[in-house]
Amino acid sequence: MIQFTPESYDALVDHAERGVPEEICGLLEGTREGGTAQVTAIHPIENVATHRETRYTLDPETQLAVMEAIEGKGTDVVGFYHSHPAGPAQPSATDEAQATWAGYSYVIVSLSGRPFVGSWEWTGEKFEQELVSVGRD
């Protein structure tokens, strides 16, 4: 399960909507306790992919700097996010082929119709869908 604070959820959807027609991407900061990732902040990172309307690549230098800053604060990187401006509301074959961080959440904001936020944990072999919630414990 992945749980967003209301502020982090709103920031995520806002970032995706502002990025249209391109895919946006970034890191998720928070904690992981048991099987639940608690997202307390999002960190937008520039999409440096060649075809940003249908692909995303996090800027590697910025990604590393943000990861170090998160860990320096004593929190964790709990996952990654990107958008699908025209759908689908699930990982694409490209998303699956490029996933590398086993045990992390991969959040997708689909903007095909009403915004939909879904999350999948990468097992190292496949994506397993996670329950998404918004709120506080």
Q: Residues with catalytic annotation?
A: 23
Q: How far apart are CA 92 and CA 33, in angstroms?
A: 28
Number of Cβ within a 10 Å radius of residue 42: 24
Beta bridge partners of 119: 107, 130
Report residue 58 as tokens: 């996090």
| Angle in degrees, CA 27, 87, 55, rounded to 5 | 55
Strands 116-122 and 127-130: antiparallel
Cα distance from N-terminal residue to C-terminal residue, the chain: 13
Beta bridge partners of 108: 82, 118
